[in-house]
Each structure stands twice: as C-alpha cells, then as structure tokens.
Amino acid sequence: MASISPDVSSRLKPEVIQVVKIIYEEVCNLQPDQNVLIISDARTPDYIVATFQGMALAMDAEAVTIECRIPKGGATYQPGSEWPSMLKVAALEADLIIDMAVGYSQFIADAIKNGARILCPGDGIGGPFMDDVLIRTMLHTDIHAVRREADQIAQAFTDAKTCTVLTENDEFSIDITNITGEPGCGFLWDPDKKDWKSQWTFLPPAQPGILVPKGYGTGSINVDGTLLYHPNYHEKPDSPLRLSFEDGYLKEIGGDKLLSSRLQTWLENLGDDSAYYGPVHFNVGCNPNAALSQSQEWERVYGSLTCGMGDFSMLGELWELPEGVTLNKSDVHWDWTVLQPKILLDDKVFSDRGIFYLD
C-alpha cells in the first residue's frame, strides 16, 4: 500500500473552489441567510479558510471566521483543551460550523443542541495539505457512491451481534448487540432523500463503523498501519504493534520495539487512566482515492480499520445510546490503524485484504 507526500503549495488551487461549492451545496445544504461560523488556526493555510468563507458569502449566507491558537500538544490533546469564551458564544449563533481547529469539545456539543450542524473538513483539525486531500477524495471521487456504500456498511454493523478482527495469529472481538452502525459518510444532508442525515460529520468521506461503549472489546490486535499519538500525527511501525485488551481496557503493549516502548512511556506519564480505555470507535475506510498521508485516519483508506482510544464522550451526547451504556471521557484521544484486517460480523467474512463482502 503506497504512501504519498501531498502536494503542498502557497497558491490557491482553482479546484478548491469547486470542491468547497460541492461541500456547501451537496453535503451541507447551505441556504441563504444562514449563519456560518468557520473555526481555524494556523495549521490550515489562510487561502483555504478564505475559500470556505468566500463561497458561503457568495451563496448569500452570513460567514464569520475565528482563528484560534493551536492547542498545546496538538490533535491528541484537543479533548482536554480550553477554548476562548468568545468562540463559545459565537458557536451558539451558528446554523453551520466549519470546524478546522477544535474537534471534540463540550461547546461543540452545546452548539449542536442549540440547532447547529458541524462539518469537520480535516476530521476535527485542519492541515497544510487539506486542499490536496479534498480535491483527491471528493472532487475526483464519486462521493455519492461512497456515501451509499457507507450506508450499506453501517447497516451491516447494525444487523450484527458480534464483530471479530483477525490479524496474524490474534483475535479481537466486540459484542455489538444493540449497537447501531454509523455511516460516517461525510454528509450532513442526504441528497437522495432530501432530508438531514446527521448533525456532525467529518471529511473526507467515508469511515462507517460503530461507537464502542466503555468496557467493550477483548483480545489482541496487530497494528501494521499507523499510530497517532503525542508527539506525532502519524507514525508507521516497522513491525506490527501488538495491543491486548480486556473488557475495553488496554492491558498490554508489545510488538514493534520502538513504538511499544514510546507508547507505554507516554501513557504512563499522562497519569490519566482513562487514556487506556478503548477502542472507543471502530471504523473502516471506504474511499477509493484515499492514500497514506498525514491526514487524520489516513483519509479513510479503502479496507483499512481505524480505532480510537481515550475520549469520545462528546458523541455520547449526540447519538442515542442503549440504557446503561456510556462512552469514555478523557483529556486525550489517540488512534491506531490496521491496513487490511480480516473482519467477521457474526462469523461471516465482512472484509478481508481490503475487500468488502456486502450482501
């Protein structure tokens, strides 16, 4: 599986204007006179931010940009970050928030409860090559085919009672009875049904899967794709990193000598037991144009599995969960990716070697 170095430049690519227009019209269903709040920081080039603001204005919406300082420590620490009171107030006035800086935060959840919808073009944070990613994974991709496949995959998770991941000689399983699959398709609006699809979503599309309740998941997984934690965005293990879980808690770290040691040391120094809980989300990539870049979750590389650890409490306020079920709360969120695992749903092969087997 190839990795790439994104095309980073200091000029606005004309195609960015095209893709932002698609995002507003087909993904967000933006209407005239709506209030759009664009949240950014210095990680995203100003010409990308200006394109989102300018296109919203061109569609007769009211658009305001607020640039925040970069959270200390970067993406992993954003759940525990403190945000300006001015930003929190502005979020409550928005109909649509384009979030390129915050990600998981209580004030985002409060804005949604107040009627706002949230789109994260960079999966909660921005980046210097967001333009390259969005052009390749949206403008040059049939995003509606991706959306429909994501809906199919989400339904497969909803219909299943158990999910098992096989990597090398290890097995990891989750009881997913009564857990609803989420399409993670990148659309707030459903162009087919002409109705709202979600209150919060991220780009690029798509990464369908499930929110995993606290205390679920036992076994071991060999991570051969990437590790996203402090101080890196993505680090690829030289050999598989072996993570062993018991009832949704990371009990043992082994495998790759460098990363196993660094991850163990980082977790121990956090002094935050909640960072060991997970997976908190379990998602497969289904974008045919996604590539291995520094974009979060590898841009939803087709057939890959990405799981998050630590915080996922915000989404627990947005989705209806079974009685007695909670999502983990932490000051950090970190992720790992397996490139082409074999996944079983109710003992039936769901995906293997990067291929989905859907009814």
pLDDT(296) > 70: no
Domains and CATH numbers, the chain: 14-139 (3.40.50.2300), 143-197+205-356 (no CATH)
Collapsing DSSP states into helix, strand and coil, what is residue 314?
A: helix
pLDDT interval class at 21 (50, 70, 90): very high
Q: What is the pLDDT of residue 116?
A: 97
pLDDT(4) > 60: no
- DSSP β-ladder status, 35-40 and 62-67: parallel
Question: Which of 354, 349, 131 has its CA nearest to residue 225?
Answer: 354
pLDDT interval class at 1 (50, 70, 90): very low
Question: Which of 61, 181, 173, 49 has its CA nearest to residue 117?
Answer: 61
| Mean pLDDT of the region 262-291 | 94
Could you tell me which residues come within 8 angstroms of residue 7 by beta carbon, excluding any fewer than 6 positions away?
129, 132
Radius of gyration of the chain (CA): 19
Can you give the pTM of this predicted structure?
A: 0.93
Burial of 32 (0-12, 13-18, 19+ CB in 10 A): exposed
Place of tokens 């399983």: 173
Alpha helices in 237-356 (DSSP H): 257-270, 313-316
Provide, rounded to the nearest whole percent, the portion of the chain with pLDDT above 70.
93
